[in-house]
Amino acid sequence: MLKGIPPILAPELLKVLCEMGHSDRLVIADGNFPSHTMGKNAIVIRMDGHGVPEILDAILQVFPLDAYTDTPVQLMQLMDRDVGKIETPIWDTYKEIIAKYDERGAKAVTNIDRFQFYDEAKEVYCIIATGETAVYANVMLQKGVV
């Protein structure tokens, strides 16, 4: 046990977060995301019993967001066929969590096309596969400096 470290951050994940350098990225993936397919060149950590918000909150306690880019947080944009049909209140939750740890708050977040998100996810250092049931709940973080 360590003091000041959120208990949800298991040793394997802490090791990976420490290994990551400036501009490295990670994805916290919802339960529908093809984590192992996208993560063929990444470290995939399974956290099936947890949702994205609780993991995001814990990670941001120890993980600085990149200050050298305007939007170090990326979300998967709704597909045209889902606009007006699918609600994404989890995005507001993410922005509240981010605001606790980064003065840019919601301005640090952008949405990118689904297929661009997939392409970029293939290049990340780590994918955390969660049991999150909300749709469009994937979030990509770019690491900054301490």
Predicted TM-score (pTM) of the model is: 0.96
Q: Cβ–Cβ contacts within 10 Å for residue 95, how many?
A: 16
pLDDT, one tens digit per residue, over 76-111 is 999 999 999 999 999 999 999 999 999 999 999 999
Active site residue 94: no
How far apart CA 131 and CA 144 sit, in angstroms, is 27
Q: What's the mean pLDDT in 42-65?
A: 98
Where in the chain are the domains? 23-142
pLDDT, one tens digit per residue, over 1-21 is 789 999 999 999 999 999 999
Identify residue 89 by its one-letter amino acid code. P
User: Residues 24, 82, 101, 118: which is the catalytic one?
Assistant: 118
User: Residues 30, 57, 66, 102: which is the catalytic one?
Assistant: 66
Active site residue 118: yes
- The per-residue pLDDT for 2 is 82
Residues sharing a CB contact under 8 Å with residue 5, sequence separation 6 or more, in sequence order: 14, 62
User: Residues 22, 68, 113, 119: which is the catalytic one?
Assistant: 22
Active site residue 136: no
| Assigned CATH topology for domain 23-142 | RbsD-like fold (3.40.1650)
Packing angle of the helix pair 52-60, 89-101 (nearest 10 deg): 10
Q: HSE on the CB side for 81, CA within 13 Å?
A: 1
